[in-house]
Amino acid sequence: MIVDLSGRHVIVTGGTGALGTAVVRTFVSSGATCTVPYVLEDEAQHFPLGAQKQVTLLKVSDLADEAEVSKLYATVKSTAPLWASIHLAGGFAAGKVAETDKKTLMTQIDNNFISCFICCRAAIQAMLAAGQGGRIVNVAARPALEWRSGAGMAAYTAAKTGVAALTVALAEEVAKDGILVNAVAPSIMDTPANRKAMPKANFDAWPQVEEVAATIAFLASPDNRVTRGAIVPVYGKT
The residue-averaged pLDDT of 94-109 equals 97
Is residue 195 domain-resident? yes
Query: Do 32 and 9 meet the contact criterion of CB atoms below 8 Å apart?
Result: yes
Q: How many domains does the chain have?
A: 1
Q: Give the burial class of 165: count Cβ atoms within 10 A of its Cβ; 0-12 exposed, 13-18 middle, 19 or more buried.
A: middle
Q: How high is the pLDDT of residue 213?
A: 97
For residues 134 and 151, give the distance between their C-alpha atoms in angstroms, rounded to a whole number: 36
Is residue 4 domain-resident? no
Q: How many CA atoms lie within 13 A of 132 on its CB side?
A: 11
The residue-averaged pLDDT of 96-105 equals 97
Is residue 2 domain-resident? no
Is residue 130 domain-resident? yes
Catalytic residue (choose from 38, 73, 156, 235)? 156
Quickly state the pLDDT bin for 237 (edges 50, 70, 90). Answer: confident
Query: Do 59 and 84 meet the contact criterion of CB atoms below 8 Å apart?
Result: no
Would residue 73 show up in a list of annotated catalytic residues for this protein?
no
DSSP 55: E
Is residue 3 domain-resident? no
Is residue 151 domain-resident? yes
SS (H, E, C) 106-158: HHHHHHHHHHHHHHHHHHHHHHHHHCCCEEEEEECCHHHHCHHHHCCEHHHHH
Is residue 51 domain-resident? yes
Q: How high is the pLDDT of residue 1?
A: 65
Instruction: Residue 202: give the domain boundaries.
Output: 9-234
Q: How high is the pLDDT of residue 236?
A: 84
DSSP 180: E
In this structure, what CATH number is given to the domain that contains residue 86?
3.40.50.720
Is residue 1 domain-resident? no
Q: How high is the pLDDT of residue 207?
A: 93
Q: Is the pLDDT of residue 184 over 70?
A: yes
Quickly state the pLDDT bin for 56 (edges 50, 70, 90). Answer: very high
The residue-averaged pLDDT of 190-199 equals 92
Quickly state the pLDDT bin for 79 (edges 50, 70, 90). Answer: confident
- 108-136 pLDDT, tens digit each: 999 999 999 999 999 999 999 999 999 99
